[in-house]
Structure 1
Amino acid sequence: MNVRNLRWMMLVVGGVLPVLLVAGIVVGGGCTSDQYIYSCDDASPPNIQETPCPPDAGPDAEVCDEDGGCNEAGAGGGDEGTGGGEQEGGGDGIGGMSSLCAGQCVPKEPPGWFEPLLLWLGPPDKAPDCPATAPVPGDELHADLVVEPYRCAACACDPAETSCELPAAWSAVDSSTCPGGPGAQRTSFAAPEAWDGTCTTANAIPAGQACAGGPCTQSLDLPAPRVLAGACAPSVVEEPAEEPQGGFRWATFARTCAGVAAYAPCGDSGMRCSPAPPEGEATPPEGFLTCIMHHEGEHECPPTYPSRHIAYDDAEDSRGCSACTCGEPSGGACSVWVSAFSDAGCSTGVVSVLMRSDSSFCGAIAPGTALGSKSAVVVDLDPGSCTAGGGEPIGEVAPRGAVTFCCLDRQPQQPEPPRARDPERG
């Protein structure tokens, strides 16, 4: 048994039972009878023991009927001795008993459904209190979920940690046509490993060194410098002006109301006595509906209560933002000023050129010139950029604790109150 069912059971036991204990019906008119209590599940009240009438009841009166009047023996309480006829007070009799329902007689609920009660549906700020006919408030539920947009902060990517790799594989070519044909001979003038650009004499070529095509130093060939970029780090660069998490609300409020009094049986065993909505108020949001209720999820409605409404205890917001990500870096570039010298101290220049990372250099020099030293310096470095991703709303707002209400399309007519017995009829 769930908490809601237990609450309703306590409501019924706590509110109805004390009334039942004091709601015994005593046969009047001078006759006495045992008290009895009607249950809403009874098709008819218990049998009333016939008791002798007082002496002043009349010479032919022998027994007391169920209305407290005195009739001739065997008359059965009917008009003109018909016995078991229609009872005054409205409704078809069951076992000689009319409907005594002071509220409304409606179809009984199927197994598993809570007995008929009053339901109000409408705007949350218009919800009324429970009416006098059913003053005990029950569940307060919600319907028509309205979800506000969920806003995430914008994602960005910090610049990658980038460096410029200096050209290292320098070489001299024994051809003035750079970089020379297929038979051209190359002589290494390479820089040392992990060179930082400072002046170096590594792989120096002396003046006049001869190769197959003549002097080894007729052209100088250098590869392009290269950008070395690491990964970009994702970051959040913009917070929204308002709270980033969107909220949600309910457009419809649902309130159930139950009675506190014991309801007498209806004349039809397939009907149940339940509270009647206030007069002149038939449908929400102006008034109340007569409904049965199922606490466990969504269910189809029975034919007797065809109008279906689903309400919820609450909603769970599992929304968030996806993690920020960064793509591979692109667009990086660097520029390097490179120089070759004929001496060992990087002072007598042979060639100096500004190289970019998107192009190599190959140029003619005076044949037989010594290549004694070299240097390089980075003059510009562009780390490029990474494409940011993520930062998108994920998750959902999902209603929880569904309750199914099945309601009457039209409210039944309320029964007329029982008419008082005509004293002249005895």
Structure 2
Amino acid sequence: MVAVCCASTLGLGIGVTSGGCGNPTTYLCPWDENQGPKGTPCEVLEDPDAGGAGGCGGDGGDDCAAEDDTDVAIAHDFGDLIPAAEVCAGQCVPKEPLGWSEPTLLWIGAPDSVPSCPANAPIVGYEGYADFAAPAPHTCPACACDPPEATCEVPAEWNAYASFPCGGPEAPATSFAAPNGWDGICTSANAVEARRTCDGAPCVQSLAIQAPRVVSAGCAPRVAEAPENPDEPATAGSFVLVARACTGNASPPCPDPGMTCTPAPPSGDAAPPEGFLTCIHHEGEQDCPATYPERHVFYAGVEDTRGCAPCGCTEPAGATCSVLASAFSDPGCSQLVAGQVITSDAPYCGTVASGTALGSKSVSVVSLDPGQCEAFGGEPVGSIAPTAAATFCCYRTSAVPA
């Protein structure tokens, strides 16, 4: 007896021979929509329990040879002959939307109880994390500033005036300046001889000296006090939940073309703690389709950019210095004409004997207060945030830890 394939719009005929005797023979055969059955007649898959050739029982006799009734069912075209009884051994769930992964088994639970993947889905396809446990506020050290390094710059600008006070209206000035880079040691530069006249009047009647100046190199910042317990970098261990997705091999089809066959969550003694969900996956944060409405978002890890602003110092404030400025009539700084302590707060102007010679000068530093700087910086900066989001949308729920 032979079985003849039957036309199918889905490309595969399923036939059942039933000659009225013995057990029926079930078979599948491919179908070509343009050319009909691929091979006519199709190969008959004899039922081993039928007791005779062609699928008929041992007592079928001639009636079996005379009859060849065929019942028809429809299935997808898988090419080679496949027993019709070999259908989805797992679970049939809705097909995933375009751009989403095929359904997988997803476990969610505490980091210390992550199970192995079940036997029917042994491949770990994804591991991620959720429910980030934010650490305590970031602590930073206190900042301070070392005293500034400073020097007192002695005044190099000296002028004699043919009047008093210094620099009066229309009073000519005669320079008695020190050389550039002067350190205050005795110098006879720009000496003014005795009885020199300016516009008919003695050139030397008063003496003006500029104020000294504090020159500071600024303050060096430093850490005054470091935290007793420095912060540990945030890692994946900072998450409360772990997710593991498990995948298995391809399974036979489901009768409904809108469904797909996927491994079923294990049950009974084979089920790991907390059970599994059946979910589809998409990179990034996504909305879930209606067929897989339960949404879970996980992350690959955490990016910790926390830190402390560097310590710095303002410019020094309150710096002062004072010098003793002396003028002499001779070139060797021995015959004192005028001597005055001058501070950095204001220049000096004083009278001298009219027509006196200004032969030399010297300056020595009396005091120096470098001032102080205010510290800034040391405040927390940066942030901590989960990275590489992935969305799992689940079809069938199971117990998930709170």
Global fold match (TM > 0.5): yes
Aligned match of 1:79? none
* Residues 410 and 318 (structure 1), Cα distance of their counterparts in 2 relative to 1, 3 Å cut: closer
1:346 Cα shift? Answer: 3.0
The reply to whether residue 52 of structure 1 matches residue 43 of structure 2 is: no
- TM-score norm. by structure 2 comes to 0.65
Aligned match of 2:159? 171
Alignment deviations for residues 305-327 of structure 1 (CA, whole Å, 9 cap, x no partner): 12232323334556666666666
The reply to whether residue 252 of structure 1 matches residue 255 of structure 2 is: no
Give the counterpart letter for 2:214 in structure 1: V
Please, which runs of 5 or more residues in structure 2 have no aligned partner? 1-21, 29-41, 47-53, 74-83
The reply to whether residue 182 of structure 1 matches residue 169 of structure 2 is: yes
**Mapping 1:148-163, distance limit 5 Å:** 148=135, 162-163=150-151
Alignment partner for residue 305 of structure 1, among 286, 292, 297? 292
1:144 Cα shift? Answer: 3.8
* Residues 392 and 301 (structure 1), Cα distance of their counterparts in 2 relative to 1, 3 Å cut: same
Contact 1:184 1:213 in 2 (8 A): no
* Residues 269 and 60 (structure 1), Cα distance of their counterparts in 2 relative to 1, 3 Å cut: farther
* Residues 47 and 229 (structure 1), Cα distance of their counterparts in 2 relative to 1, 3 Å cut: farther
Give the counterpart letter for 2:57 in structure 1: P
**Mapping 1:254-273, distance limit 5 Å:** 254-259=243-248, 263=251, 265-273=253-261
SS in 1 for 2:103: strand
Aligned match of 2:39? none
1:357 Cα shift? Answer: 1.4
Contact 1:98 1:266 in 2 (8 A): no
Give the counterpart letter for 1:49 in structure 2: L
Contact 1:174 1:213 in 2 (8 A): no
Contact 1:150 1:245 in 2 (8 A): no
Aligned match of 2:214? 227
In the alignment, the residues of structure 1 paired with residue 126 and residue 311 of structure 2 have an alpha-carbon distance, to the nearest angstrom, of 43
Please, which runs of 5 or more residues in structure 1 have no aligned partner? 1-29, 37-45, 64-71, 77-82, 85-96, 412-426
**Mapping 1:352-391, distance limit 5 Å:** 352-384=339-371
Alignment partner for residue 103 of structure 2, among 100, 113, 116? 116
Alignment deviations for residues 395-417 of structure 1 (CA, whole Å, 9 cap, x no partner): 66565554332211657xxxxxx
Q: Which has the higher strand share?
A: 2
Give the counterpart letter for 1:408 in structure 2: Y
* Residues 185 and 112 (structure 1), Cα distance of their counterparts in 2 relative to 1, 3 Å cut: closer
Alignment RMSD, CA only? 4.6
Farther-moved stretch of structure 1 (300-309 vs 132-141): 132-141
Contact 1:108 1:272 in 2 (8 A): yes
* Residues 140 and 62 (structure 1), Cα distance of their counterparts in 2 relative to 1, 3 Å cut: farther
In the alignment, the residues of structure 2 paired with residue 61 and residue 303 of structure 1 have an alpha-carbon distance, to the nearest angstrom, of 55
1:241 Cα shift? Answer: 3.6
- TM-score norm. by structure 1 comes to 0.62
In the alignment, the residues of structure 1 paired with residue 99 and residue 172 of structure 2 have an alpha-carbon distance, to the nearest angstrom, of 98
Aligned match of 1:192? 179
Aligned match of 1:203? 190
Alignment deviations for residues 336-394 of structure 1 (CA, whole Å, 9 cap, x no partner): 12122344443443332221112111122344444333211112334445666666666
In the alignment, the residues of structure 1 paired with residue 232 and residue 346 of structure 2 have an alpha-carbon distance, to the nearest angstrom, of 50
SS in 2 for 1:277: coil
Aligned match of 1:289? 277
The reply to whether residue 333 of structure 1 matches residue 320 of structure 2 is: yes
1:137 Cα shift? Answer: 4.3
* Residues 252 and 371 (structure 1), Cα distance of their counterparts in 2 relative to 1, 3 Å cut: same
Q: Give the paired residue count.
A: 343
1:182 Cα shift? Answer: 0.4
SS in 2 for 1:125: helix
* Residues 34 and 136 (structure 1), Cα distance of their counterparts in 2 relative to 1, 3 Å cut: farther
